[in-house]
């Protein structure tokens, strides 16, 4: 990359970090692009050159959050290895909660856009597809060695990913100290999943898994990216 390109990347990163700081301090709706540009020392036009809108900044936040989550999971696995299904799922959930802990106010403001099927920030939208697939892949990897058919492993990963979205919704509304209720729920989710999933490989579970796979195919939940 040329020096000019590197400078542009540094400026873009500075715009994002400034915006994130203002979103956290003042709130998403209350922060304007003009204030973000002023915080960086840029003209409004120059700020728009890097990010066309506040929605574009939110998409960058999602990308940053996913990359940071992957990095934290990797560090945690190296520092405290636990190869059990429960331990690996707990690690995924705990590191995500740690990452989100200071952004409850921001995420509350963004929540409507996350669930709006027509919005650019929808968790199931085209704009977020690459981020969604990376996140789903983290959960699908949990079941990579489970002795069941590959399609069922994929469904388990995506179902667990969906459960983590429910955990996220609970977190947004959790006002307990240090989000203790959400952390308890995450711990129980990891325990219940690790306890029940191994039984899916037994012959007596075949009718249940076949029905679940059939329904998932019918609803499109096993299509690429888990799109609706």
Q: What percent of the chain has pLDDT over 70?
A: 97
Q: What integer is the mean pLDDT of 171-194?
A: 95
Range list of H helices, the chain: 3-26, 33-40, 44-50, 54-79, 85-100, 104-115, 129-140, 150-173, 180-196, 206-219
In angstroms, rounded to a whole number, what is the distance separating the alpha carbons of residues 175 and 193? 26
- Please spell the DSSP secondary structure of 75-135, one letter per residue: HHHHHS---SHHHHHHHHHHHHHHHHGGGHHHHHHHHHHHH-TTSTT-TTSSTTHHHHHHH
Distance in angstroms between the alpha carbons of the first and the last residue of the chain: 38
**Confidence (pLDDT) at 32:** 95
- Tell me: the pLDDT tens digits for 148-181? 889 999 999 999 999 999 999 999 999 999 999 9
pLDDT band with cut points at 50, 70 and 90 for residue 2: confident
Task: Round the average pLDDT of the chain to a whole number and report it.
Answer: 91
**Confidence (pLDDT) at 226:** 41
Statement: the pTM of the whole predicted model exceeds 0.95:
no
Kindly tell me if the per-residue pLDDT of 189 is higher than 50. Answer: yes
pLDDT band with cut points at 50, 70 and 90 for residue 223: low
Kindly tell me if the per-residue pLDDT of 224 is higher than 50. Answer: no
Kindly tell me if the per-residue pLDDT of 193 is higher than 90. Answer: yes
**Confidence (pLDDT) at 115:** 78
Kindly tell me if the per-residue pLDDT of 31 is higher than 80. Answer: yes
Give the pair of three-digit tokens for residue 72.
């934290």
Kindly tell me if the per-residue pLDDT of 15 is higher than 90. Answer: yes
Q: Return all residues near 10 (Cβ < 8 A) that are at least 6 apart.
A: none
Q: DSSP character for 60? A: H
Kindly tell me if the per-residue pLDDT of 126 is higher than 60. Answer: yes
- Tell me: the pLDDT tens digits for 70-104? 999 999 999 989 889 999 999 999 999 999 998 99
Burial class (CB in 10 A: 0-12, 13-18, 19+), 30: exposed
Q: What percent of the chain has pLDDT over 90?
A: 75
Give me the helix-helix angle, 54-79 and 129-140, nearest 10°: 20
**Confidence (pLDDT) at 201:** 85
- Identify the CA nearest to 160 among candidates 183, 189, 181: 189
Kindly tell me if the per-residue pLDDT of 4 is higher than 90. Answer: no
- Identify the CA nearest to 60 among candidates 25, 7, 9: 9
- Identify the CA nearest to 105 among candidates 29, 162, 164, 34: 29
- Tell me: the pLDDT tens digits for 131-141? 999 999 999 99
């Amino acid at each position: 990359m040329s020096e000019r390109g590197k400078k542009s990347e540094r400026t873009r990163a500075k715009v994002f970090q400034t915006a994130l700081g203002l979103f956290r301090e003042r709130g998403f709706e209350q922060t304007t692009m003009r204030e973000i540009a002023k915080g960086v020392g840029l003209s409004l036009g120059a700020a728009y050159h890097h990010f066309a809108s506040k929605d574009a900044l939110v998409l960058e936040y999602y990308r940053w959050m996913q990359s940071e989550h992957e990095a934290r999971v990797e560090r945690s696995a190296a520092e405290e290895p636990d190869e059990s299904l429960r331990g690996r799922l707990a690690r995924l959930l705990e590191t995500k909660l740690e990452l989100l802990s200071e952004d409850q106010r921001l995420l509350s403001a963004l929540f409507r856009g996350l669930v709006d099927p027509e919005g650019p920030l929808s968790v199931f939208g085209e704009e977020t597809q690459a981020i969604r697939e990376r996140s789903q892949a983290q959960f699908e990897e949990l079941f990579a060695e489970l002795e069941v058919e590959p399609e069922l492993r994929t469904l388990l990963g995506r179902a667990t990913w969906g459960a983590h979205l429910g955990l996220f919704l609970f977190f947004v509304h959790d006002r307990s100290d240090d989000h203790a209720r959400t952390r308890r729920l995450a711990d129980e989710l990891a325990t219940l999943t690790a306890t029940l999933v191994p039984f899916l490989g037994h012959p007596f579970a075949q009718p249940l898994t076949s029905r679940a796979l059939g329904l998932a195919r019918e609803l499109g939940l096993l299509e690429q990216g888990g799109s609706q």
